[in-house]
């Protein structure tokens, strides 16, 4: 009897150990999902590339699976099978905030591949103007399946269809983003489309920033699956984001945070992001494999299905959506610190420790895609502005990331190729610095004039994490509505930009460096300390979003004060496109 009890006890302990080990292995091993008791979708489905009779449905899992489908239509009787691709560069590292990753016990000590599969099915046979239900299902290798909730999809809208389009940018896992997106849905209901002016995440190859960061990953916020907690005056509020892109196609552009630097050369993904080289420099140093040895947008391009141009692929393109012709440009550069302390590779000078190591230089604010007059992108843009699709559109809108007009800091220096100046003492390099001639600003000198000539009504952009807008003498509107999560302030009043002293150019410390006066909100502007209306919103408590109503031709901007979770969303500005 004693022997049996001992054996039974040993068996029970062994079984418990096996269960614990199996449970541990089944959840995650070095960040890779091996098996779970029930399969899960990494994202809800979202919509891409609508046409007159079809739309793409995209979702992600952490298993390859054996079958992935969309069922749709009446009683979900129709089926579309998905194509499967694996993301090639999604990784986690010591800066990831995912699963049980903590400062005291990291799962990831260095960049580690994270296996993620993308599923895309084309739903066809749609009738313009008619919404249909759909649901996605993924079947794992062990034949266990998981399905999404039921959502709605539609073909691209017909002409004269009134639409509500969300204008947003610069989410970057920032604190107010989930609140912002939740208030979009609570205020205007379901939108018909999303235009995203870049900087979706911080580090494009860090998988958790897209899918499941413990804070505010991109997809959970846009799909109403976030759980972001904010506390004010001891009151905790959890914001879930908004169920938006399950029902509405999203068109994006590349911001500086969608670009990664040299591949797998550094010890962290943050350092890799910062490790960009101009293509011409990479060619001299490495001779080949310029994408891996300079900069790339691989993960961004693998995640999204976007319209393509022959010249620029997904990086710059044009699309018709209802009464709107949307032109999307690749206009962004590498953000470098304006500091002159010589410790970092900056906008205006190289780090002193690297003066004799050109391979480690930052080369100033590297412009990723040429857009000056005569470049391939400029020539494409010129042809697009002269196309029948563009000229016949009721509304002509151009979207890119870098601001042509702003009160933010990121507009200085000029958007032009850095002019490198190497200062020597005999044969020794004493300093490497960069000038940016103001009269060579490609956006102001080359791009804006042809947009004005083509009667573009709206130029939409982000980058500076604030809300402000401008109007040119010809009546072209400029809108920056990127204060969704945090801000770095506005150069207005007593607050001045950090600009270099003793350099060739006289950089503007306050106001718009390119000469336009900001427009004071038309309905309910915030008041400054002097009691006067402010022409901007730059707040770490108040979040802003904008809605383009194509039926009325208006763009309305709303604000919500996260310090007062029970307060109403307030429309504070509205203007009409001519």
d(C-alpha 238, C-alpha 257), whole Å: 27
Q: Is the peptide bond before 495 cis (omega within 30 degrees of 0)?
A: no
Indicate the pTM of the whole model: 0.92
pLDDT in tens, 502-544: 888 988 999 999 999 999 999 999 999 999 999 999 999 999 9
Of 103-112, 408-417, 428-437, minimum mean pLDDT range? 103-112
**With left for phi above 0 and alpha for psi between -120 and 50, is residue 94 left, alpha or beta?**
alpha
CA geometry: angle at 19 spanning 13 and 21, to 5°?
100
**Is residue 8's pLDDT more than 80?**
no
User: Alpha helix locations (H) across 141-277?
Assistant: 177-188, 207-211, 218-222, 269-274
pLDDT in tens, 200-259: 999 999 999 999 999 889 999 999 999 999 999 889 999 999 999 999 999 999 999 999
Phi and psi at residue 458, in whole multiples of 5°?
A: -140, 130
- Contacts of residue 352, defined as CB under 8 A and 6 or more positions apart, other chains included, come to 342, 343
Residue 238: which H helix or E strand, with range?
A: strand 235-239
Of 41-50, 185-194, 280-289, 379-388, minimum mean pLDDT range? 280-289
d(C-alpha 59, C-alpha 153), whole Å: 14
**pLDDT on residue 426:** 85
For residue 237, CA distances in Å to 179, 229, 560 come to 9, 6, 14
d(C-alpha 284, C-alpha 264), whole Å: 20
Q: With H, G, I as helix, E, B as strand and everything else as coil, classify residue 26.
A: helix
Phi and psi at residue 194, in whole multiples of 5°?
A: -130, 130
**pLDDT on residue 4:** 36
Nearest alpha-carbon partner for 26 in 17, 35, 18: 35
405-419 core/surface letters (b: 16 or more CB in 10 A; e: else): bbbbbbbbbbbbbbe
pLDDT in tens, 278-308: 999 999 999 888 899 999 999 999 999 999 9
Q: With H, G, I as helix, E, B as strand and everything else as coil, classify residue 493.
A: coil
- Contacts of residue 550, defined as CB under 8 A and 6 or more positions apart, other chains included, come to 161, 162, 163, 164, 165, 322, 323, 324, 394, 395
Residue carrying structure tokens 């204060």: 483
* 303: number of Cβ within 10 Å: 25
**pLDDT on residue 103:** 54
Q: Please compute, for residue 381, the number of CA atoms within 13 A of its CA located in the half-sphere on the CB side.
A: 33
Q: Identify the band that residue 143 occupies on the pLDDT scale cut at 50, 70 and 90.
A: very high
For residue 424, what are the β-bridge partners? 429
| DSSP per position, 63-115 | S--SEEEEEESGGG-EEEEPEEEE-SS-EE-TT---TT--SSS-S-SS-EE--
Q: With H, G, I as helix, E, B as strand and everything else as coil, classify residue 132.
A: strand
Residue 188: which H helix or E strand, with range?
A: helix 177-188
Q: Identify the band that residue 25 occupies on the pLDDT scale cut at 50, 70 and 90.
A: very low
Let me know: does 270 contact 239? Beta carbons within 8 Å: no
Q: Identify the band that residue 39 occupies on the pLDDT scale cut at 50, 70 and 90.
A: very high
Q: Both ends of the chain: CA-CA distance in Å?
A: 93
d(C-alpha 539, C-alpha 174), whole Å: 12
d(C-alpha 61, C-alpha 83), whole Å: 13
């Amino acid at each position: 009897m004693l022997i049996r009890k001992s054996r039974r006890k040993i068996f029970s302990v062994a079984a418990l150990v096996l269960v614990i080990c199996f449970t541990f292995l089944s959840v995650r091993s070095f960040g890779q999902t091996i098996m779970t008791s029930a399969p899960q979708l990494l994202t809800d489905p979202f919509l891409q590339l609508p046409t007159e009779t079809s739309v793409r449905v995209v979702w992600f899992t952490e298993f390859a699976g054996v079958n992935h489908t969309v069922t749709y239509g009446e009683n979900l009787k129709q089926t579309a099978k998905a194509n499967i691709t694996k993301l090639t560069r999604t990784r986690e590292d010591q800066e990831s905030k995912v699963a049980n990753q903590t400062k005291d016990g990291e799962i990831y000590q260095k960049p580690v591949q994270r296996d993620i599969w993308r599923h895309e099915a084309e739903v066809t046979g749609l009738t313009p103007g008619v919404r249909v239900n759909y649901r996605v299902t993924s079947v794992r290798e062990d034949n266990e399946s998981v399905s999404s909730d039921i959502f709605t999809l539609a073909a691209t809208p017909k002409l004269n269809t009134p639409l509500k389009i969300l204008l947003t940018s610069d989410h970057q896992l920032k604190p107010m983003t989930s609140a912002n997106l939740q208030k979009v849905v609570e205020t205007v209901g379901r939108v018909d489309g999303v235009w995203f002016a870049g900087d979706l995440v911080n580090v494009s190859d860090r998988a958790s920033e897209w899918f499941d960061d413990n804070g505010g990953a991109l997809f959970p916020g846009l799909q109403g699956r976030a759980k972001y907690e904010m506390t004010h005056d001891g009151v905790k509020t959890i914001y879930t984001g908004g169920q938006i892109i399950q029902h509405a196609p999203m068109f994006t552009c590349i911001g500086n945070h969608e670009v990664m630097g040299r591949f797998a050369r550094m010890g962290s993904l943050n350092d890799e992001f910062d490790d960009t080289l101009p293509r011409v420099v990479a060619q001299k140093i490495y001779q080949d494999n310029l994408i891996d040895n300079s900069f790339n947008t691989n993960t961004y391009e693998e995640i999204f299905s976007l319209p393509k141009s022959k010249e620029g692929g997904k990086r710059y393109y044009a699309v018709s959506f209802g009464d709107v012709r949307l032109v999307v440009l690749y206009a962004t550069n590498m953000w470098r610190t304006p500091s002159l302390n010589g410790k970092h590779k900056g906008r205006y000078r190289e780090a002193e420790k690297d003066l004799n190591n050109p391979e480690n230089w930052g080369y100033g604010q590297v412009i990723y895609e040429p857009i000056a007059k005569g470049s391939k992108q400029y020539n494409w843009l010129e042809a697009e502005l002269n196309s029948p699709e563009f000229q016949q559109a009721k509304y002509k809108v151009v979207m890119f990331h870098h601001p042509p007009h702003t009160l933010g800091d990121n507009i200085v220096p000029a958007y032009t190729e850095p002019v490198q100046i190497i200062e020597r003492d005999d044969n020794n390099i004493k300093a490497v610095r960069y000038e940016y001639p103001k009269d060579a600003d490609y956006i102001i000198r080359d791009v804006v004039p042809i947009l004005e000539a083509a009667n573009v009504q709206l130029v939409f952009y982000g980058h500076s994490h604030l809300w402000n807008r401008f109007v040119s003498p010809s009546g072209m509107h400029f809108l920056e509505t990127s204060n969704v999560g945090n801000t770095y302030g506005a150069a207005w009043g007593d607050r001045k930009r950090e600009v270099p002293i003793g350099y060739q150019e006289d950089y503007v410390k306050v106001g718009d460096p390119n000469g336009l006066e900001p427009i004071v909100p038309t309905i309910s502007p915030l008041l400054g300390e002097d009691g006067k209306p402010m022409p901007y919103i730059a707040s770490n408590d108040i979040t802003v979003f904008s809605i383009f109503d194509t039926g009325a031709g208006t763009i309305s901007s709303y604000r919500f004060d996260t310090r007062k979770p029970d307060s109403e969303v307030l429309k504070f500005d509205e203007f009409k496109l001519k």
